[in-house]
Amino acid sequence: MEVFDRIHLDVMDYDVKGRGLGKVDGAVVFLDGGEIGDKVEVEILKKKKNFYEGKIIGYDKKSSRRVKNPCPYDRCNGCAFLSLERQSELAWKRERVASAVARIGGIDTKVEEVITGGDVFGYRNHMQFHVKGGKLCLYGKEGELIPIRRCLMQWERGNEILTALQGEKWLADIQTVGIRTTRGGEVMVILVGKKDMSDRLLHDAVAFAVEEKVDSLYYSKNKNPRFHYGKTFEHLYGKETIEETLGQFRYGVGAGNFFQINPYGAEAITREVTKNLIGAETVVELYSGIGTITLAASRMAGQVIGNEISEISVDYARQTAENNGVTNVRYIAGPAEKMLPKIAEEETIDGLIVDPPRAGLDPVVVDTLLESKPKQILYVSCNPSTLARDLGRLVAAYDIEKIQPIDMFPHTASVETVVNLKIK
């Protein structure tokens, strides 16, 4: 089979990006837009060593799971499952977790039905748009830039600013625009360019912010195409931070702060963690980020220790705890694989919360857990494969009480999982 060949195949599954997956003569073919149950005609676009990539050029039969795509930007590459009925999406996400736990972890256990946090549309409070010809764009399925006037996943206040920005002549020297919003209706605009900001651009940008009632305006100089923003942010107008609330805690969100894109989903994860957290004197959270779970756990423990590698995030978490009057938490900066052994030497850890990046737990962290044996581990994961790998080791000393998938990013292939483990 060669590039530009046309073939017929059945879509049998999705990959981790949400692309349709089929096979021809034992060879795997990935294609955008395919739904399980589709019988399609495909043109081969790329030939790799172990797989092919193709595009659908016709349907022999459409899947019964298909629904009408509500998005007018069908070529946008942001969402994978807008043409898939909602229950089928949730069922696939549950199966993705269950399959990984069984196949990679070698564990036969129940996986709960997926729960959701908030609406399935309009859940994103932060988006970045590329600027081309004065128009704000998102990437398409083939790498092209598509002008976007409204995104179904963005909060409505963000869409109002997105629409107002389209076609503004002063965007000529801007390469990226970030829009951050809060549930209270505040909005922050972050302009990104390769050069220092000119007086003319400053004048026009501030005039726009005043007219459109933008609460906070920033500029970031960035020459590295790998990143949306530069390392520094220049405050131009309005407030330095906008305010968001998660649970009972208030957070000031700045231009460079990490903050959960879907606060409703973040609250769902936090609820799942705290409702399963047994009463404990000392709780430790590894990979604690800006401290959202740490603060929530503070209500259920004598003391909570948060560990995060980023000094910036640790400083932010400390300030947030102080602003909220929380006095029984402390934060330690440094890599988890180095900090956990030190903490375990100094403290008797009753409960441990981990929320690692996609790579999962460092082997040293797992070794330390198996040696120190906290009574309970609550594992928050964004990657079923590395979660399953780590569970495969932890079950030597722990029983899995519950595996709860959470759909934090509807219409994408992503799925979060909270696992409750208790010492045997």
Q: Based on the fold, state whether residues 285 and 357 are members of the same structural domain.
A: yes
Please indicate if the annotation marks 243 as binding a ligand.
no
Q: Which CATH number belongs to the domain containing residue 377 in this structure?
A: 3.40.50.150
Residue found by looking up tokens 């131009």 in the block: 236
Do 197 and 95 lie in one domain? The reply is no
Task: Judge whether 79 counts as a catalytic residue.
Answer: no
SS3 1: coil
CA distances to 155, 159, 181, 255, 318 from 232, rounded to whole Å, are 26, 26, 20, 9, 21
83 within a domain of the structure (yes/no): no
What pLDDT is recorded for position 264?
95
In contact, 405 and 94? CB cutoff 8 Å: yes
**Are both 302 and 242 inside the same structural domain?**
no
Q: What is the pLDDT of residue 90?
A: 98
- Would residue 375 be called left, alpha or beta, if left means φ above 0 and alpha means ψ between -120 and 50 degrees? alpha
Asked whether residue 272 falls in the same domain as residue 418, the answer is yes
Q: What is the pLDDT of residue 118?
A: 85
For residues 333 and 387, membership in a common domain is answered with yes
Closest CA to 155 of 192, 122, 106: 122
Let me know if residue 256 belongs to a domain.
Answer: no
- Together in a domain, 159 and 96: no
260 is known to lie in a ligand binding site? yes
User: Which residue ranges of the chain lie beneath pLDDT 70?
Assistant: none
Pair (290, 363) in one structural domain = yes
Six-digit token pair at 140? Answer: 């398409």
Q: Residues 71, 79, 137, 382: which is the catalytic one? A: 382
- The dihedrals phi and psi of 56, each to the nearest 5 degrees, come to -75, 125
Give me the CATH number covering residue 211.
Answer: 2.40.50.1070
Residue 287 labelled as part of a binding site: yes
The β-bridge relationship of strands 20-24 and 39-47 is unpaired
Same domain, 188 and 300: no
Is 74 annotated as ligand-binding?
Answer: no
Domain limits at 96? 89-119+262-423
pLDDT value at residue 402:
98
Burial of 87 by CB count in 10 Å (0-12 exposed, 13-18 middle, 19+ buried)?
Answer: exposed
Q: Which two tokens stand for residue 309?
A: 């590698």
pLDDT, one tens digit per residue, over 349-393 is: 999 999 999 999 999 999 999 999 999 999 999 999 999 999 999
